[in-house]
Structure 1
Amino acid sequence: MLTAVITRFATQMIATIITRFTTNVIAVVIARLTANMIAMIVPGLTANVIAMIVTGLAANVIAVIVPRLTANVIAMIITRLSVVAAAPRVRGAVMAAPTVAGMAISISASAVATAFTAMATTASTIGSATASVTTSAATILGIGAGTTGYRVWDQNNGSR
Protein backbone atom coordinates (compact mmCIF):
# COMPACT_ATOMS: atom_id res chain seq x y z
CA MET A 1 0.00 0.00 0.00
CA LEU A 2 2.77 2.36 0.94
CA THR A 3 4.60 1.48 -2.25
CA ALA A 4 1.47 2.19 -4.26
CA VAL A 5 1.01 5.59 -2.58
CA ILE A 6 4.66 6.54 -3.05
CA THR A 7 4.61 5.36 -6.65
CA ARG A 8 1.39 7.24 -7.39
CA PHE A 9 2.65 10.36 -5.56
CA ALA A 10 6.00 10.19 -7.34
CA THR A 11 4.34 9.63 -10.68
CA GLN A 12 1.97 12.55 -10.20
CA MET A 13 4.73 14.81 -8.89
CA ILE A 14 7.03 13.92 -11.74
CA ALA A 15 4.19 14.37 -14.21
CA THR A 16 3.31 17.76 -12.69
CA ILE A 17 6.92 18.92 -12.53
CA ILE A 18 7.67 17.80 -16.07
CA THR A 19 4.46 19.39 -17.35
CA ARG A 20 5.15 22.68 -15.53
CA PHE A 21 8.79 22.65 -16.52
CA THR A 22 7.95 21.77 -20.11
CA THR A 23 5.24 24.42 -20.30
CA ASN A 24 7.52 27.09 -18.84
CA VAL A 25 10.48 26.11 -20.97
CA ILE A 26 8.32 25.95 -24.09
CA ALA A 27 6.81 29.34 -23.20
CA VAL A 28 10.26 30.86 -22.70
CA VAL A 29 11.78 29.23 -25.77
CA ILE A 30 8.85 30.11 -28.01
CA ALA A 31 8.76 33.68 -26.70
CA ARG A 32 12.52 34.04 -27.20
CA LEU A 33 12.42 32.25 -30.54
CA THR A 34 9.50 34.37 -31.67
CA ALA A 35 11.24 37.58 -30.63
CA ASN A 36 14.46 36.52 -32.32
CA MET A 37 12.68 35.24 -35.41
CA ILE A 38 10.65 38.44 -35.67
CA ALA A 39 13.80 40.48 -35.13
CA MET A 40 15.47 38.52 -37.91
CA ILE A 41 12.54 38.14 -40.33
CA VAL A 42 10.90 41.56 -40.11
CA PRO A 43 13.97 43.65 -41.03
CA GLY A 44 14.77 41.27 -43.89
CA LEU A 45 11.17 41.30 -45.00
CA THR A 46 11.00 45.05 -44.60
CA ALA A 47 14.22 45.55 -46.55
CA ASN A 48 13.04 43.22 -49.30
CA VAL A 49 9.56 44.73 -49.44
CA ILE A 50 10.98 48.27 -49.45
CA ALA A 51 13.50 47.26 -52.09
CA MET A 52 10.75 45.73 -54.19
CA ILE A 53 8.37 48.67 -53.78
CA VAL A 54 11.01 51.35 -54.31
CA THR A 55 12.51 49.55 -57.29
CA GLY A 56 9.09 49.05 -58.83
CA LEU A 57 8.10 52.59 -58.01
CA ALA A 58 11.39 53.98 -59.29
CA ALA A 59 11.17 51.95 -62.48
CA ASN A 60 7.55 52.98 -63.05
CA VAL A 61 8.13 56.62 -62.19
CA ILE A 62 11.24 56.80 -64.37
CA ALA A 63 9.43 54.93 -67.14
CA VAL A 64 6.66 57.53 -67.03
CA ILE A 65 8.63 60.72 -66.30
CA VAL A 66 11.72 60.30 -68.47
CA PRO A 67 9.95 59.60 -71.78
CA ARG A 68 7.50 62.43 -71.09
CA LEU A 69 10.32 64.73 -70.08
CA THR A 70 12.35 63.67 -73.09
CA ALA A 71 9.40 64.15 -75.41
CA ASN A 72 8.61 67.56 -73.91
CA VAL A 73 12.23 68.72 -73.98
CA ILE A 74 12.73 67.56 -77.56
CA ALA A 75 9.43 69.17 -78.56
CA MET A 76 10.51 72.39 -76.87
CA ILE A 77 13.96 72.33 -78.49
CA ILE A 78 12.50 71.61 -81.91
CA THR A 79 9.97 74.40 -81.46
CA ARG A 80 12.68 76.84 -80.35
CA LEU A 81 14.95 75.75 -83.17
CA SER A 82 12.10 76.18 -85.63
CA VAL A 83 11.42 79.66 -84.28
CA VAL A 84 15.12 80.55 -84.43
CA ALA A 85 15.36 79.10 -87.92
CA ALA A 86 12.36 81.13 -89.03
CA ALA A 87 13.23 84.33 -87.15
CA PRO A 88 16.30 85.47 -89.15
CA ARG A 89 14.33 85.44 -92.37
CA VAL A 90 11.74 87.66 -90.76
CA ARG A 91 14.42 89.93 -89.32
CA GLY A 92 16.13 90.03 -92.68
CA ALA A 93 12.96 91.28 -94.23
CA VAL A 94 12.31 93.75 -91.43
CA MET A 95 15.91 95.00 -91.35
CA ALA A 96 15.88 95.84 -95.03
CA ALA A 97 17.35 99.33 -95.15
CA PRO A 98 19.77 101.13 -97.48
CA THR A 99 22.77 99.94 -95.46
CA VAL A 100 21.77 96.28 -95.58
CA ALA A 101 19.71 96.28 -98.73
CA GLY A 102 21.83 93.60 -100.39
CA MET A 103 22.20 91.36 -97.35
CA ALA A 104 20.21 88.11 -97.37
CA ILE A 105 19.77 86.53 -93.96
CA SER A 106 18.78 82.88 -93.98
CA ILE A 107 19.72 79.52 -92.55
CA SER A 108 20.52 76.85 -95.07
CA ALA A 109 18.48 73.66 -95.23
CA SER A 110 21.64 71.63 -94.54
CA ALA A 111 22.21 73.50 -91.26
CA VAL A 112 18.66 72.76 -90.17
CA ALA A 113 19.04 69.10 -91.23
CA THR A 114 22.29 68.87 -89.25
CA ALA A 115 20.56 70.31 -86.19
CA PHE A 116 17.73 67.77 -86.46
CA THR A 117 20.24 64.94 -86.87
CA ALA A 118 22.00 66.15 -83.73
CA MET A 119 18.66 66.18 -81.91
CA ALA A 120 17.92 62.62 -83.04
CA THR A 121 21.32 61.57 -81.71
CA THR A 122 20.57 63.37 -78.46
CA ALA A 123 17.24 61.54 -78.20
CA SER A 124 19.08 58.24 -78.61
CA THR A 125 21.57 59.28 -75.93
CA ILE A 126 18.72 60.23 -73.62
CA GLY A 127 17.16 56.81 -74.25
CA SER A 128 20.42 55.14 -73.25
CA ALA A 129 20.64 57.37 -70.19
CA THR A 130 17.10 56.40 -69.24
CA ALA A 131 18.04 52.72 -69.37
CA SER A 132 21.14 53.44 -67.33
CA VAL A 133 19.17 55.37 -64.72
CA THR A 134 16.61 52.56 -64.50
CA THR A 135 19.41 50.04 -64.03
CA SER A 136 21.15 52.09 -61.37
CA ALA A 137 17.99 53.31 -59.62
CA ALA A 138 18.44 50.79 -56.83
CA THR A 139 21.94 52.05 -56.11
CA ILE A 140 20.88 55.70 -56.41
CA LEU A 141 18.02 55.17 -53.97
CA GLY A 142 20.23 53.27 -51.52
CA ILE A 143 18.57 49.89 -51.94
CA GLY A 144 21.89 48.08 -52.00
CA ALA A 145 23.15 49.79 -48.85
CA GLY A 146 23.54 46.46 -47.11
CA THR A 147 25.82 45.11 -49.81
CA THR A 148 27.56 48.28 -50.94
CA GLY A 149 27.53 50.33 -47.72
CA TYR A 150 30.45 52.67 -47.36
CA ARG A 151 32.16 51.09 -50.35
CA VAL A 152 30.17 53.35 -52.68
CA TRP A 153 32.71 55.76 -54.11
CA ASP A 154 32.23 59.50 -54.02
CA GLN A 155 32.25 60.35 -57.69
CA ASN A 156 33.55 63.85 -57.03
CA ASN A 157 36.90 62.96 -55.55
CA GLY A 158 37.15 59.15 -55.66
CA SER A 159 37.43 58.78 -51.89
CA ARG A 160 35.35 56.43 -49.77
Structure 2
Amino acid sequence: MSDPRKRARRARMLRWLLNLYPPYLGAGVRVLSISPDLRHIQVRMKLTLWNRNYVGTQFGGSLYSMVDPFYMLLLIEQLGSEYIVWDKAASIDFIAPGKGTVYAEFEVDDALLDDIRQQTAGGKKCLPRLQVDIRDEAGELVARVDKTLYVRLKPQTRQA
Protein backbone atom coordinates (compact mmCIF):
# COMPACT_ATOMS: atom_id res chain seq x y z
CA MET A 1 0.00 0.00 0.00
CA SER A 2 1.96 2.99 -1.26
CA ASP A 3 -0.72 5.70 -1.19
CA PRO A 4 0.04 7.85 1.89
CA ARG A 5 -3.64 8.77 2.34
CA LYS A 6 -4.66 5.10 2.43
CA ARG A 7 -1.89 4.34 4.93
CA ALA A 8 -2.99 7.23 7.14
CA ARG A 9 -6.62 6.02 7.06
CA ARG A 10 -5.44 2.50 7.84
CA ALA A 11 -3.38 3.81 10.78
CA ARG A 12 -6.39 5.69 12.19
CA MET A 13 -8.64 2.62 11.77
CA LEU A 14 -6.08 0.30 13.39
CA ARG A 15 -5.71 2.67 16.37
CA TRP A 16 -9.48 2.87 16.74
CA LEU A 17 -9.89 -0.93 16.59
CA LEU A 18 -7.05 -1.60 19.04
CA ASN A 19 -8.50 0.87 21.52
CA LEU A 20 -11.82 -0.99 21.39
CA TYR A 21 -10.21 -4.43 21.74
CA PRO A 22 -11.80 -5.91 24.90
CA PRO A 23 -8.57 -7.24 26.51
CA TYR A 24 -7.00 -3.79 26.10
CA LEU A 25 -10.07 -2.02 27.44
CA GLY A 26 -10.02 -4.26 30.52
CA ALA A 27 -6.29 -3.90 31.08
CA GLY A 28 -6.33 -0.12 30.65
CA VAL A 29 -4.12 -0.21 27.55
CA ARG A 30 -4.54 2.74 25.19
CA VAL A 31 -2.89 3.21 21.81
CA LEU A 32 -1.99 6.90 21.89
CA SER A 33 -0.76 7.17 18.33
CA ILE A 34 0.10 5.27 15.19
CA SER A 35 2.11 7.28 12.69
CA PRO A 36 0.45 7.79 9.29
CA ASP A 37 3.22 5.75 7.64
CA LEU A 38 2.56 2.82 10.05
CA ARG A 39 6.16 2.78 11.36
CA HIS A 40 5.72 4.11 14.89
CA ILE A 41 3.27 3.33 17.71
CA GLN A 42 2.93 4.82 21.20
CA VAL A 43 1.03 2.91 23.90
CA ARG A 44 0.00 3.82 27.47
CA MET A 45 -1.36 1.79 30.35
CA LYS A 46 -2.77 3.43 33.45
CA LEU A 47 -2.72 1.59 36.76
CA THR A 48 -6.30 0.53 37.47
CA LEU A 49 -8.20 -1.89 39.63
CA TRP A 50 -8.20 -4.32 36.67
CA ASN A 51 -4.40 -4.46 36.14
CA ARG A 52 -3.17 -3.99 39.70
CA ASN A 53 -1.51 -6.97 41.36
CA TYR A 54 -1.57 -8.08 45.00
CA VAL A 55 1.06 -5.53 46.06
CA GLY A 56 -0.61 -2.62 44.23
CA THR A 57 1.64 -2.32 41.18
CA GLN A 58 1.17 -3.11 37.48
CA PHE A 59 0.45 -6.81 36.94
CA GLY A 60 3.31 -8.39 34.95
CA GLY A 61 0.95 -10.04 32.49
CA SER A 62 -0.63 -6.67 31.73
CA LEU A 63 2.81 -5.12 31.18
CA TYR A 64 3.57 -7.83 28.64
CA SER A 65 0.16 -7.67 26.96
CA MET A 66 0.51 -3.92 26.41
CA VAL A 67 3.51 -4.56 24.13
CA ASP A 68 2.67 -7.96 22.69
CA PRO A 69 1.33 -7.42 19.15
CA PHE A 70 2.87 -4.17 18.01
CA TYR A 71 6.13 -5.16 16.33
CA MET A 72 4.27 -7.91 14.49
CA LEU A 73 1.60 -5.44 13.35
CA LEU A 74 4.16 -2.89 12.16
CA LEU A 75 6.11 -5.51 10.20
CA ILE A 76 2.94 -6.89 8.59
CA GLU A 77 2.00 -3.38 7.49
CA GLN A 78 5.48 -2.55 6.18
CA LEU A 79 6.31 -5.83 4.45
CA GLY A 80 2.90 -6.43 2.93
CA SER A 81 0.83 -9.48 2.11
CA GLU A 82 3.72 -11.40 0.49
CA TYR A 83 5.19 -12.15 3.94
CA ILE A 84 4.30 -14.37 6.86
CA VAL A 85 4.96 -12.53 10.14
CA TRP A 86 4.49 -14.25 13.50
CA ASP A 87 5.65 -13.77 17.06
CA LYS A 88 8.07 -16.59 17.82
CA ALA A 89 9.40 -15.90 21.31
CA ALA A 90 9.47 -13.26 24.00
CA SER A 91 10.93 -12.56 27.39
CA ILE A 92 10.32 -9.78 29.85
CA ASP A 93 12.78 -8.44 32.40
CA PHE A 94 11.05 -6.63 35.26
CA ILE A 95 13.34 -3.81 36.38
CA ALA A 96 11.18 -1.74 38.77
CA PRO A 97 7.58 -1.84 39.96
CA GLY A 98 5.07 -0.05 37.77
CA LYS A 99 3.41 2.18 40.35
CA GLY A 100 1.41 4.32 37.94
CA THR A 101 0.94 4.96 34.25
CA VAL A 102 3.48 3.29 31.96
CA TYR A 103 4.39 3.87 28.31
CA ALA A 104 6.02 2.02 25.42
CA GLU A 105 7.06 3.06 21.92
CA PHE A 106 7.67 0.90 18.87
CA GLU A 107 9.44 1.84 15.66
CA VAL A 108 10.59 0.02 12.55
CA ASP A 109 13.14 1.66 10.28
CA ASP A 110 14.48 1.13 6.78
CA ALA A 111 17.56 -0.73 8.02
CA LEU A 112 15.43 -3.39 9.73
CA LEU A 113 13.10 -3.75 6.76
CA ASP A 114 16.00 -3.96 4.28
CA ASP A 115 17.71 -6.60 6.43
CA ILE A 116 14.53 -8.69 6.62
CA ARG A 117 13.94 -8.45 2.87
CA GLN A 118 17.55 -9.40 2.15
CA GLN A 119 17.50 -12.41 4.50
CA THR A 120 14.17 -13.69 3.17
CA ALA A 121 14.76 -13.03 -0.55
CA GLY A 122 15.86 -16.61 -1.24
CA GLY A 123 12.92 -18.11 0.65
CA LYS A 124 14.68 -18.49 4.00
CA LYS A 125 13.18 -17.41 7.29
CA CYS A 126 14.37 -14.40 9.24
CA LEU A 127 14.18 -14.18 13.03
CA PRO A 128 14.59 -10.51 13.92
CA ARG A 129 15.11 -9.75 17.61
CA LEU A 130 13.50 -6.52 18.73
CA GLN A 131 13.38 -4.82 22.08
CA VAL A 132 10.92 -2.44 23.69
CA ASP A 133 11.26 -0.58 26.97
CA ILE A 134 8.31 0.08 29.25
CA ARG A 135 8.81 3.33 31.15
CA ASP A 136 6.89 5.21 33.82
CA GLU A 137 5.78 8.85 33.67
CA ALA A 138 9.19 10.02 34.92
CA GLY A 139 10.91 8.07 32.13
CA GLU A 140 12.30 5.45 34.52
CA LEU A 141 12.64 1.93 33.14
CA VAL A 142 9.99 -0.45 34.50
CA ALA A 143 10.49 -3.46 32.21
CA ARG A 144 12.33 -4.47 29.05
CA VAL A 145 10.76 -6.90 26.59
CA ASP A 146 12.77 -8.86 24.03
CA LYS A 147 10.75 -10.21 21.13
CA THR A 148 11.77 -12.61 18.39
CA LEU A 149 9.61 -12.63 15.29
CA TYR A 150 9.41 -15.14 12.47
CA VAL A 151 9.36 -13.60 8.98
CA ARG A 152 9.33 -15.45 5.68
CA LEU A 153 8.02 -14.95 2.18
CA LYS A 154 4.78 -16.83 1.62
CA PRO A 155 5.30 -20.04 -0.41
CA GLN A 156 3.68 -18.66 -3.57
CA THR A 157 6.10 -15.69 -3.63
CA ARG A 158 9.36 -17.51 -2.88
CA GLN A 159 11.97 -17.83 -5.61
CA ALA A 160 12.54 -21.32 -6.92
Structures share fold, TM-score greater than 0.5: no
> TM-score, normalised on structure 1?
0.29
Task: State the structure with more CA Rg.
Answer: 1
Structure with the bigger RCO (C-alpha within 8 Å, sep 6+) is 1
Q: Which has the higher strand share?
A: 2
> TM-score, normalised on structure 2?
0.29
